[in-house]
Amino acid sequence: EPEVTQTPSHQVTQMGQEVILRCVPISNHLYFYWYRQILGQKVEFLVSFYNNEISEKSEIFDDQFSVERPDGSNFTLKIRSTKLEDSAMYFCASSSLQGFGQTQYFGPGTRLLVL
């Protein structure tokens, strides 16, 4: 069964450094998303992406964040200058154009720790 994959599974970085989180969505999906989950808290929407542009972004998704689909398979989230509060689990998700309520399928997540 096709699945969303994410790399790396864990990332430790120093405050102020740039990080790039990578995702490979399910191959025939056209909508892509990033969510984050701070430890012990709810999952929060960051950004949705369709047709090579951002559909919507949350207030969390400020100028330090960017997303890109550099080729036909990868979908990346870049944090330009990480802060301590960026430490969280980051989930990528994808959904197809058709199908039940455009159900989103999630990747296994990248655990980001900013020191």
Partner 1 sequence: AQTVTQSQPEMSVQEAETVTLSCTYDTSESDYYLFWYKQPPSRQMILVIRQEAYKQQNATENRFSVNFQKAAKSFSLKISDSQLGDAAMYFCAYRSAMDSSYKLIFGSGTRLLVRP
Q: Counting contacts by CB under 8 A, is residue 95 touching partner 1?
A: yes
Sheet holding 5-7, edge to edge: 5-7, 19-24, 75-79, 65-68
- Chain position carrying tokens 């430490």: 87
Q: How far is the CB of 113 from partner 1 (least distance, A)?
A: 14
Q: How far is the CB of 46 from partner 1 (least distance, A)?
A: 9
Residues in the interface with partner 1 (CB under 8 A) total: 28
Sign, CA torsion 75/53/102/90: positive
Q: Which amino acid, residue 114?
A: V
Q: Counting contacts by CB under 8 A, is residue 43 touching partner 1?
A: yes
Which residues bind to partner 1, rule: CB under 8 A?
A: 31, 33, 35, 37, 41-45, 48, 55-56, 58, 89, 91, 93, 95, 100-109, 111
